[in-house]
Structure 1
Amino acid sequence: MLLGDQVPDFTAETTEGTLQLYDYIKDVWCLIMSHPGVFTPVCTTELAYMVKEIKQFTDRNVKLIAISFDTKEKHIQWVKDINAFNKEDTSKPLPYPLIADSTRDIGAKLDMIRPADKSQPGLALTARHALLIGPDKKLKCYFVYPATSGRNMDEILRAIDTVQLTHRTGLSSEVNWKPCKRIIVPASLPPEKVQEFVKNRKVVDLPSHQNYLQFGELKN
């Protein structure tokens, strides 16, 4: 899938029962985090983080889903380990579902692995994706990590903020942007949008004498 593509709907078994993607998302945002398998150390730390920091996602109107290429029974056991790592009650459910994709059908449908490779042992290690899906069910942003590199969750949250900013206002974000910093005002942004969302707009004087680099402050 490429950015802007419609994410295909699917039905899957999870630790919380049967899930249909579109029904689960409804009209909010969704982040799907894929993992090669259960009982993997890097992924355990990531899923534990997502439990502890769930409010960071709910405050952004983002629902979470995790998926790995193992059985539902193994996922239920993995939940206990994730809770134990967080020093929590091992019997409590996670605040998001874990999809059991032992056939790798969903992983192939979401382009986490190549369809021709889904039955090949070992290749699931390539499935370390984070897919941000918009309320319109289209792919808005994605990350791909190797099996040994823990995902930078601060960067994923920052990326969510930038994508949602553009979705809401039409504005853009500069290098290393964080909320409350100046924003880029695209020259193509309609004047009414500029007036609604931007204050203190300034055009950068460049050697090309083209007024494409404009900054401002976000109102409110």
Structure 2
Amino acid sequence: MTQHTQNQADTSARLPAAFGKTYIGNAAETEYQYQAADFEALGIRFTGSDPDDPQYVLALLPEGWSQHSEAHSGRRYVLDQHGRPRAMWYVVECDGQHPNGSPAKPCRICSTGGHLVGWMELASPRNYVKYCAQHNRPIITDRTWATPEAVRDALLSWRDMHQEEAKSLTSRLTRAQYQYGRYAELLDKFDRSSPTAAASRSGKQAT
């Protein structure tokens, strides 16, 4: 476990009180529940509950670490000294319109004070390269976590996933274009063979 000594440069933070799950293993994946020790191994020090919101705990981040919020997605990150995400979670905000309920039975988000804090998870090199792509950040490797091998595997994984997505979208576009042409052809033939339909079309075009 990484040893960390508290100092004045540590940054105060509010982090989720609940931890998420991941999967480990190869052929037979095994569910693993994150523990506080997994985040403490990064140098994060949990200092107690947040008296203002039970969904959070108070913590100290290592020197040079920070937090980053994405307003458009609700994603929250803990960034290391190189600006790389090392932990992440979601925060879902409620606009008071009861999106998942009714005034008689408020939604779960409303009942938590207008926001719902998701589980915190460790970020993987795969999460990291996605973050770099989304935020136009350079990729910084190291010898223990974001190794060159792990980063390359992650980049290949994302590339191949989006390649398959592009193939699927191209196939759907091709089918849609064919169906459009087919129905346009049938419509034209129908209008030509039906005086009533043709008259109706002429009237619409005149208006």
Greater helix content: 2
TM-score tier by shorter-chain length is under 0.3
Name the TM-score, length of structure 2 as normaliser. 0.26
Flag the structure with more relative contact order, 1 or 2, with Cα contacts below 8 A and sequence separation at least 6: 1
Q: Which structure has the bigger radius of gyration?
A: 2
Name the TM-score, length of structure 1 as normaliser. 0.25
